[in-house]
Amino acid sequence: MKTLEVYNLQKKYQQGKKSIEALSGLSLTINAGEVLAFLGPNGAGKTTSIKMIAGLIRPDAGWVRIAGCNPHSNPQALRMLGAVLEGSRNLYWRLTPQENLEYFGVLRGIGRTVARKQALKLLDQFGLMHKRSTPVKALSRGMQQKLAIAVALVHKPSLLLLDEPTLGLDVEACQNVKALVRQVASEGCAILLTTHQLDVAEEISDRVAIIQKGKIIAEESTEEIIRRFSGSTYTIKFEGSLDPIQITKIEALGAIIEAEKIIYTGTKPGLYKVLGILEPLPLSHVKQDQSDLTQIFLKLVREYNHD
């Protein structure tokens, strides 16, 4: 089921006499239980899109549906949404984690008893039980961030918007938040995640959408996009030594021979020819070089700029 549907969003900002096109026909969808990484350079339109999905900015054209509801006309839609937005704190600094969770639960209409139960469940799930009575201002940055996510989830939304959830966290806290995001998704929540940390996106997203100049320029499963952009360079490691005939034949195929290692760039049939020439030497390793999301991202954005 599609938890989020975004269709053809357009938005122009007026700045003095100049008109800035922030979104020019942006569409995307997220299924229940899916993490979509929303990537793009500064100024591409990420924050504008997220604020529009959250009902905070009206589109000039296009529409948003959260579990079928329109956040720009139906307040019910906002009940299905949880958000941790860039630069805005959704926590009261002087209250404790438990108080924050209960307060926001009641505010979003789940009732005191349910809010208390949800608060305890989330404190436990997020590893914050031992800090439930400590004022938020005394918690570490990582714990505050975990609590901010827990608070966004207290009314059990079907869609969670996360803007840079791991920014400024130390390695352990970052690991922690990543694991929680996966866990929340596995319970059926759809998650839209913006991040500049492409390794984070690579690790926890099911799909990526890359936005450039207010448009999606690529939207694909994370695994698929990495496979599609992976180079056709192979490293072959073998044991023993090559005879002069093998060396001549392998070099004729354009491969580079190093000590106990061959680097071959080319097609699969070519690779099998190299392997055939090596026979019957034992192979210890044949590996296709992987592209990572950082390289793909830079490549796509660069290509798009040249169009």
- Find the part of the chain contacting ligand ADP (CB under 6 A) among 43-51, 93-101, 140-148, 195-203: 43-51
Choice from 3, 6, 9, 47 touching Mg ion (CB under 5 A):
47
Tell me which residue of 221, 159, 206 sits closest to 32, measured CA to CA: 159
15 contact, one of Mg ion, ligand ADP, none, CB 5-8 Å limit per kind:
ligand ADP
- Residue placing its CB nearer to Mg ion in the complex, 110 or 192: 192
- Residue placing its CB nearer to ligand ADP in the complex, 252 or 298: 298
- Residue placing its CB nearer to Mg ion in the complex, 51 or 131: 51
- Find the part of the chain contacting ligand ADP (CB under 6 A) among 15-23, 74-82, 94-102, 252-260: 15-23
Smallest gap from Cβ 12 to ligand ADP, in A, equals 9
- Residue placing its CB nearer to ligand ADP in the complex, 44 or 67: 44
- Residue placing its CB nearer to ligand ADP in the complex, 117 or 215: 215
- Find the part of the chain contacting ligand ADP (CB under 6 A) among 44-52, 68-76, 201-209, 281-289: 44-52
| Residues 153 and 82 sit within 8 Å (Cβ to Cβ) | yes
Q: Is 42 in the site for ligand ADP (CB under 6 A)?
A: yes
Q: Is 48 in the site for ligand ADP (CB under 6 A)?
A: yes
- Residue placing its CB nearer to Mg ion in the complex, 34 or 164: 164
48 contact, one of ligand ADP, Mg ion, none, CB 5-8 Å limit per kind:
ligand ADP
Choice from 22, 26, 64, 278 touching ligand ADP (CB under 6 A):
22
Q: Is 19 in the site for ligand ADP (CB under 6 A)?
A: no
Cis peptide before 97 (omega within 30 of 0): no
Q: Is 44 in the site for ligand ADP (CB under 6 A)?
A: yes
Rg (CA), the chain: 25
Smallest gap from Cβ 99 to ligand ADP, in A, equals 32
| Residues 93 and 137 sit within 8 Å (Cβ to Cβ) | yes
Smallest gap from Cβ 194 to ligand ADP, in A, equals 7
Q: Is 15 in the site for ligand ADP (CB under 6 A)?
A: yes
d(Cα 304, Cα 61) in Å, to the nearest integer? 24
Q: Is 40 in the site for ligand ADP (CB under 6 A)?
A: yes
93 contact, one of Mg ion, ligand ADP, none, CB 5-8 Å limit per kind:
none
Q: What is the 3-state secondary structure (H, E, C) of the chain?
A: CEEEEEEEEEEEEEECCEEEEEEEEEEEEEECCCEEEEECCCCCCHHHHHHHHCCCCCCCEEEEEECCECCCCCCHHHHCEEEECCCCCCCCCCCCHHHHHHHHHHHCCCCHHHHHHHHHHHHHHCCCHHHCCCCHHHCCHHHHHHHHHHHHHCCCCCEEEEECCCCCCCHHHHHHHHHHHHHHHHCCCEEEEECCCHHHHHHHCCEEEEEECCEEEEEEEHHHHHHHHCCCEEEEEECCCCCHHHHHHHHHCCCEEECCEEEEECCHHHHHHHHHHHCCCCEEEEEECCCCHHHHHHHHHHHHHHC
Q: Is 45 in the site for ligand ADP (CB under 6 A)?
A: yes
Q: Which residues bind ligand ADP (CB under 6 A)?
A: 13, 15, 20, 22, 40, 42-48
